[in-house]
């Protein structure tokens, strides 16, 4: 396929240590390529076989442009570099282990008009893609548009979903014109670009799921406590153009103060004495600090069992929460038995 001088769409992928997965991701894209599309891959100095995998693809597919960095500078910087290398009018910030559903590219291109941002819905499957956890990650049945007067609604209805970068298709000139380096290290540079002041407000949401998310394969799993208790809420609450009421709909201001959140993280193996010592400062109230300490030493396998029973007995199945618990290092025989008896663990063994 001949690369045109000015593609309509650049599919930008930042990758690191995804040799076993990135080929499948690229195959899902290449199977539906359009003449006005290019693929830009920035490799953050992967120590695995990513470079060899990419060499094979670039030899066979001239529409792929591959850039290997001399050292790893983090996912935020690498996505920023990918947009910088891109030549398209729009950039789709695609993940390196998820898949595009058939027809996704044509659907997105048809939606690119006056909007500066397109948010693409997705389905969520387990790591080997054999089971659907959520048919629609974003619970929209029809496409939506947001303009300046819909600022609060946009944030309330999409910000939590936007923690998944693969759903973002943004006008390249808008990205490059906005502050980006401030959000290096946040793990959510795209959210910072979109919602910094003034927020991007010519927005379209495609309700049809066009991406398959491979759940349970995140690179930051080992840092989940830091990410979801601190990094994400600090980012969400940093945006000045949204009310506190709307921000609370996305996440709590300080979720690490919640005993329930700490207990859940203890059950997952994400909260231990090490996290207590690192994150709980001496100026926190004595009772609150004592509760946090007790939860950090609570028997982890028992916490896991309790949370498995809790999520298994909810009226609406909490498949992803159960997946995380049952694949945790704290999941024992009793947790798996409880999930099986309660009918929620059949495919999680």
Q: What is the pLDDT of residues 95-153, one digit of tens each?
A: 999 999 999 999 999 999 889 999 999 999 999 999 999 999 999 999 999 999 999 99
Residue 80 belongs to a domain: yes
**How many structural domains is the chain composed of?**
2
Q: Which of 169, 193, 214 is the endpoint of a domain?
A: 214
Residue 229 belongs to a domain: yes
**129 lies in the same domain as 147:** yes
State which residues of the chain have pLDDT below 70: 1-5, 317, 344-349
**194 lies in the same domain as 49:** yes
Residue 50 belongs to a domain: yes
Closest Cα to residue 23, out of 135, 123, 98?
A: 98
User: For tokens 């030549």, what's the residue?
Assistant: 87
**197 lies in the same domain as 250:** no
**142 lies in the same domain as 288:** no
Q: Which two tokens stand for residue 146?
A: 């947001």
The kind and range of the H/E element at 117 are strand 117-125
**131 lies in the same domain as 201:** yes
Residue 346 belongs to a domain: no
Contact 123, 132 (CB under 8 A): yes
The alpha carbon of residue 149 and the mean position of all alpha carbons in its chain are separated, in whole angstroms, by 27
Residue 138 belongs to a domain: yes
**311 lies in the same domain as 169:** no
**148 lies in the same domain as 53:** yes
User: What CATH number does the domain containing 120 carry?
Assistant: 3.90.550.10
**207 lies in the same domain as 283:** no
Residue 113 belongs to a domain: yes
pTM over 0.85: yes
Which pLDDT value is given to residue 79?
98
Which pLDDT value is given to residue 284?
81
Query: For residue 124, what are the domain limits?
Result: 9-214
Cα–Cα distances in angstroms (integers) from residue 244 to residues 14, 88, 196, in the given order: 33, 36, 15
**232 lies in the same domain as 261:** yes
């Amino acid at each position: 396929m001949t690369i045109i001088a000015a593609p309509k769409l650049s599919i930008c992928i930042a990758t690191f240590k995804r040799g076993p997965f990135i080929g499948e991701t690229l195959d899902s894209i290449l199977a539906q390529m359009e003449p006005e599309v290019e693929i830009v891959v920035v490799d953050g100095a992967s120590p695995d076989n990513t470079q060899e995998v990419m060499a094979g693809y670039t030899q066979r597919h001239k529409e792929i442009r591959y850039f290997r960095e001399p050292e790893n500078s983090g996912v935020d910087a690498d996505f920023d570099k990918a947009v910088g290398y891109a030549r398209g009018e729009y950039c789709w910030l695609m993940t390196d282990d998820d898949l595009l559903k058939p027809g996704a590219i044509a659907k997105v291109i048809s939606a690119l008009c006056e909007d500066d941002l397109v948010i693409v819905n997705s389905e969520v499957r387990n790591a080997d893609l054999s089971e659907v956890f959520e048919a629609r990650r974003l619970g929209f049945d029809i496409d939506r548009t947001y303009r300046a007067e819909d600022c609060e609604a946009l944030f309330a209805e999409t910000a939590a979903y936007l923690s998944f970068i693969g759903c973002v298709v943004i006008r390249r000139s808008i990205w490059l014109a906005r502050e980006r380096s401030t959000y290096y290290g946040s793990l959510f540079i795209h959210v910072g670009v979109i919602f910094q002041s003034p927020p991007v407000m010519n927005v379209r949401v495609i309700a049809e799921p066009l991406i398959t998310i491979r759940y349970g394969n995140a690179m930051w799993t080992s840092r989940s406590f830091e990410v979801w208790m601190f990094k994400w809420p600090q980012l969400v609450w940093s945006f000045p153009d949204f009310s506190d009421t709307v921000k609370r709909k996305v996440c709590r201001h300080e979720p690490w103060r919640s005993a329930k959140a700490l207990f859940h993280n203890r059950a997952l193996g994400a909260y231990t004495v090490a996290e207590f010592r690192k994150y709980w400062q001496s100026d926190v109230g004595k009772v609150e600090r004592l509760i946090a300490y007790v939860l950090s030493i609570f028997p982890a396998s028992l916490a896991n069992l309790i949370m498995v029973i809790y999520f298994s007995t909810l009226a609406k199945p909490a498949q992803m929460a159960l997946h995380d618990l049952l694949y945790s290092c704290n999941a024992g025989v009793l947790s798996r038995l409880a999930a099986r008896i309660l009918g929620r663990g059949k495919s999680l063994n």
